[in-house]
Structure 1
């Protein structure tokens, strides 16, 4: 699995500083677990943050900022293997990515989906107070209603794929979007598209039907 769509640099900086909402941090963690490119970018963000901290010269800092940055530096040093050493993993197709276990459990077979439309199912995590974290499963060949975003949206593909005006998104790819993006994903034929998504504000649907049903499903 080699992603072609990656995290925005501002997202990585926020993750490095411990400033992301919990929902977004969960999605970032999943992507980092499989993406060498973004892990390398995160190391750069950590180093820059460490230099900024060392140059404060006694200036006041937010509570816990130094400890958060030092912790991230230690985590990166431990969790990022040398380039020459491949990491061997036994893949269980029923197993969710480990960073999602606290929010949805460990397996796909254990998920209890809720239908929110023809061919569309979702699960909203109840363990997140900071932002909204959900799993979506959309049947093959379905067109998601055209929408923009009231705030930010971070989506990672776990299974299947979709296409929109931004390109083709396959397993491991992330769509790191803000309020300026309007799109209409269309899922690929073959298998359902399963993704994990984090938002901080409700979506903005263009169609009247989607807008009418939105309060019911809290999207």
Structure 2
């Protein structure tokens, strides 16, 4: 299935510059593995970055140079782009086993879906938390069909890749392969679709901000 929700251009620029944390990069790479459109945009960001880097004055201090390079890359990539093509295949790589997790996630969660060890988080919600390699959080969630999650916003950035199942929120319908690239200005309430559990992987660089008092009360228990 061709994804309908993609990585934000600013995220692609950060990824091209090697500025994403390992956890954020793992989720971004999971999306890129199945999204030809975002792979094209990442390649464009890398080409733009290479050209701009070659034009930088060698005497410029490294932090200023990196900041200016990122701003120039983002400015060029935010120029009008064609819509995501519908004729592109989901992946150019050889198919993997149905039991195999996406390759970018295997260092964190193992290779097999069947070997996952889910931990109860709330009624209808199970979670696996990956060991941290930076200050960011990487989790995999399995949410029962037809379940409403608490209304929340984000204390920072969040990348969520849908692996199986689907959910709906104010931003639209998110199915397998779709990416929710969210920042602190987004408040939403995902509601999982009927049929099968929604399984997603998410990287967060800040805690969630819950509106309801009960969710806030339980937040320290789940560490999100």
Distance in 1 between the 2:23 and 2:10 partners?
16
Q: Secondary structure at the match of 1:168?
A: strand
Runs of 4+ displaced beyond 6 Å: none
Q: Which runs of 5+ in 2 are unaligned?
A: 67-87
Report the CA distance between 1:51 and its aligned residue: 1.2
Q: Distance in 2 between the 1:119 and 1:177 partners? A: 24
Task: Return the match for 1:187 from 169, 175, 192.
Answer: 192
- Where do 5+ consecutive residues of structure 1 fail to align? 66-82
Q: Partners in 2 of 1:91 and 1:99 — Cα distance?
A: 13
| CA–CA distance in structure 2, aligned partners of residues 206 and 127 of structure 1 | 27
SS state at 1:43 partner: helix
Tell me the distance in 2 between the aligned counterparts of 1:27 and 1:105.
15
Residue of structure 2 equivalent to 1:207: 212
Aligned length: 200
1:66-85 paired onto structure 2 within 5 Å: none
Supply the RMSD in Å over aligned alpha carbons. Answer: 1.8
Equivalent residue number for residue 147 of structure 1: 152
Residue 97 of structure 1 corresponds to 102
Per-residue CA deviation, residues 77-119 of structure 1 (Å, 9 max, x unaligned), is: xxxxxx89x8353342221100001000011111111111000
**TM-score, normalised with respect to structure 1:** 0.87
Once residues 218 and 106 of structure 1 are traced to their aligned partners in structure 2, the CA distance between those partners, rounded to angstroms, is 25
What is the SS of the residue equivalent to 1:23? Answer: helix
For the residue of structure 2 that corresponds to 1:33, the secondary structure is: helix
Q: Per the alignment, in what secondary structure is the counterpart of residue 4 of structure 1? A: coil
- Check if 1:56 corresponds to 2:56: yes
Distance 2:43 2:24 in 1: 18
| Partner SS for 1:201 | coil
**Cα gap change, 1:61 to 1:215, in 2 (>3 Å):** same
**Where do residues 17-166 of structure 1 align in structure 2 (5 Å cutoff)?**
17-58=17-58, 59-62=60-63, 87=92, 89-166=94-171
Q: Secondary structure at the match of 2:62?
A: coil
Aligned counterpart for 2:221 among listed residues 200, 216, 219 = 216
